[in-house]
Amino acid sequence: MRFKLLICFLFISLSCKAQYSFSGYTNPEEWQNTVYLSIVEDYRKMSGVYSEQIIAKTTADETGFFEFKGDMLSTENRIYRIHVDKCTETQQNLNHFNGHCSNSEELLFIAKNTDTLKLPFSFGNQVFCKVESNNPRANAFLKIDSLKNDMRFAYGEVRSEANRKLNNKKWFTTLQDYGTALNEPIAELAIYTYLSDRSSDLHSYYVEDLQNNSYYDDLEERLETTYPNAPYTTQYKNELAADRFMLSSSAAENSSSPSWNVYLYGILALSFLLNVFLLYRIWKNRQSNSEDLKSKLSKQEQVVLEHLLQDKTNKDIAEALFLSVSTIKTHTNNIYKKLEVQSREDVKSLFIK
């Protein structure tokens, strides 16, 4: 008899496969009865609803109960999402395509192929607020969301720039430490995603922290140790390398820019001095030419020349020098001959430029 029981037990053990079971309740008065199960392999797409992530869907009964079960999941922990929404079939196709579904409720959790997960109603028939699982890591994302709510409350107590900056510095470190304490590197990725988001106020702290903190290398090591073949590990390593490359490129540009500025300022200064020198040489040459031309004239003709350059008439010059107009005309004609010009305009062109 015992032998038969042993044979039956062995037969049943061999014929059974490891299975997962994810079950829970939705509120049929509030949500559509279709429930979706997704696998999240890109941690930048943890929030939202994406059609390419959906791996199964089921229908909740009249009480709101639903269940997913099977044996197709990974034997290692992965990130999964269960969500419900209020959309029609047409709206679902659109919202599941672009990742945005405003009328939806979702739950992120960690699980593997052998896990059981139950999502009972919480207070006020709220859905997806409580996780019961044989996997102790399953509710890590709920814990992170709870901490973020505490953070939002801290920011909201005093709405000022000073309070925001103080909270940024405090919560950046708090979130990192909390992620490490979870002892689940793929849950830490949710925090890393939040801190490194370029649209977040915390991103400037991330850029500075990445240059000085060994936390990021430690997280990479934890991922490689625990999930060496998971897509999360590859994605994180690539992102980290890309961010560090951009930082090093930016630092190189900043370090080289002062020398370029000095070089540019040097060129500008040299150009200015050269222009001043050239202008001086031109002026000096003109002065020299003018003196050479004036040396051809008698002293009286030089005096008349100065009046000519001031556009005075022969009569005005005669009155100023107490000479006759005919004498001024004679001096003027002599000036024309000696300077080899034909008119007053020609004279002016020699001395005024």
Q: Residue by residue, what is the 3-state secondary structure of 246-295?
A: HHHHHHHHHHHHHHHHHHHHHHHHHHHHHHHHHHHHHHHHHHHHHHHHHC
φ, ψ dihedrals at 254, nearest 5° = -65, -40
Instruction: Give the per-residue pLDDT at 138.
Output: 96
How many helical (H) and strand (E) elements, i.e. helices and strands, does the chain have?
12, 8
Instruction: Give the per-residue pLDDT at 88.
Output: 65
More reliable by pLDDT, 14 or 256: 256
Task: Bin 311: left if φ > 0, else alpha if -120 < ψ < 50, else beta.
Answer: left
State the Cα–Cα distance between residues 188 and 182, nearest whole angstrom: 8
List, for residues 149-174, the tens digit of each pLDDT value. Answer: 888 888 777 677 777 788 888 889 99
Report the percent of the chain where pLDDT is more than 70. 81
3-class secondary structure, 46: coil
Query: Across all residues in the chain, what is the average pLDDT?
Result: 83
What integer is the mean pLDDT of 283-292? 64
List, for residues 80-124, the tens digit of each pLDDT value. Answer: 999 998 876 666 565 565 555 667 889 999 999 999 999 998 766
Instruction: Give the per-residue pLDDT at 93.
Output: 60
3-class secondary structure, 115: coil
More reliable by pLDDT, 178 or 345: 178
Reply yes or no on whether the pLDDT at 44 is more than 90: yes
More reliable by pLDDT, 182 or 123: 182
What integer is the mean pLDDT of 38-65? 92
Q: Residue 66 pairs with which residues in a beta bridge?
A: 24
Reply yes or no on whether the pLDDT at 4 is more than 60: no
Query: Which region among 14-18, 151-155, 164-168, 189-193 has the lowest average model confidence (pLDDT)?
Result: 14-18
Report the percent of the chain where pLDDT is more than 90. 41
3-class secondary structure, 320: helix
Reply yes or no on whether the pLDDT at 13 is more than 60: no
3-class secondary structure, 67: strand
Residue 11 pLDDT grade (very low, low, confident, very high; cuts 50, 70, 90): very low
